[in-house]
Amino acid sequence: MEELTSLADLLDLQAVDLEIDRLLHERESLPELASYKETHNRLQASTHRMEELQAQLRDTNLAIDKTNGELEIVEAKVSREQMRLYAGGLSARDADYMRREVEMLTRKKGEMEEEVLELMERGEAHEVELESSKADVARLTEIKADLEASITEAWKAIDARLAGKEERKANIVPLIAGDLVELYEELRKAKGGVGVGRLADGVCGGCHLRITAAEELDVMESDPPRCIHCRRILVV
């Protein structure tokens, strides 16, 4: 009687373990987890792009400041040389040299002004993209936070159910012989989580293969009874 009771308790243990396995699988396969991972990766990429744009805008602004500074120097020199040229008193040779110098500086001034304009246009483009990138980062950060809260809440509910099942398991295990529990756990690892099955109408509840009447007699002589096909523990 004690052995039969122990085997019956083993079926109860199997039911609890399967429920624990199901809850663990549910915990690890929440739909929100895939969304969270995708959002996290997108957020990382968006943050990286935002940082790149910030660096580019910073470099462009520095280049604008540098070019503007150089432009001011050239403008001052053009103005100074023009004043000397218009003031007169220069030899023909010096005046010709001065005119060429003014022309060269004027061309350089025009080139630098174009460069400043190009840099400003580039900076404006960076600013527009940066604002869009910042908005994207803020949006993804909010989505990630919402998903994290949803996952935490779901895990909390699942963990509460798991705790109840673990408590139930802790109450069942002492009712079963230690060596039987050990065999059961070994079989569970090897048989996809199912280490025991009920033998009903000549069919193993583990592998669902039929056992003849003669084979059943042999099964019942073993301690504990085990399926001749899958070697799981059998409970009649």
Render pLDDT for 10-21 as a digit per residue (tens, 0 to 9). 999 999 999 999
- Summarize the confidence of residues 56-76 as an average pLDDT: 89
Q: Give a yes or no: residue 74 inside a domain.
A: yes
Q: Give a yes or no: residue 193 inside a domain.
A: no
- State yes or no: pLDDT of 67 exceeds 50: yes
Q: Give a yes or no: residue 98 inside a domain.
A: yes
Q: Give a yes or no: residue 228 inside a domain.
A: no
Q: Give a yes or no: residue 88 inside a domain.
A: yes
Task: Determine phi and psi for 91, rounding to 5 degrees.
Answer: -70, 160
Q: Give a yes or no: residue 58 inside a domain.
A: yes
Residue with token string 């009874």: 225
Residue 228 parent element (H or E):
none
What's this model's pTM, rounded to 2 decimal places? 0.70
Q: Give a yes or no: residue 195 inside a domain.
A: no
Number of domain units in the chain: 1
Render pLDDT for 13-63 as a digit per residue (tens, 0 to 9). 999 999 999 999 999 999 999 999 999 999 999 999 999 999 999 999 999
Q: Give a yes or no: residue 215 inside a domain.
A: no
| % of the chain at pLDDT higher than 70 | 97
CATH number of the domain encompassing residue 153: 1.10.287.1490
Q: Burial, 126: exposed, middle or buried (Cβ in 10 Å; 0-12, 13-18, 19+)?
A: buried
- State yes or no: pLDDT of 2 exceeds 70: no
Mean pLDDT is lowest, of 45-54, 108-117, 173-182, 223-232, for 108-117
Render pLDDT for 96-155 as a digit per residue (tens, 0 to 9). 777 888 788 888 888 888 888 899 999 999 999 999 999 999 999 999 999 999 999 999
DSSP symbol at 1: -
d(CA 141, CA 116): 36
CA torsion angle for 120, 123, 128, 132 (degrees, to 10)?
Answer: 180
> How far, in Å, are 2, 86, 128, 186 from residue 81 at the CA level?
115, 9, 41, 97
d(CA 140, CA 36): 10
What is 74-121 written as a DSSP string? HHHHHHHHHHHHHH----HHHHHHHHHHHHHHHHHHHHHHHHHHHHHH
Q: Tell me the residue range of the domain where 107 lies.
A: 29-172
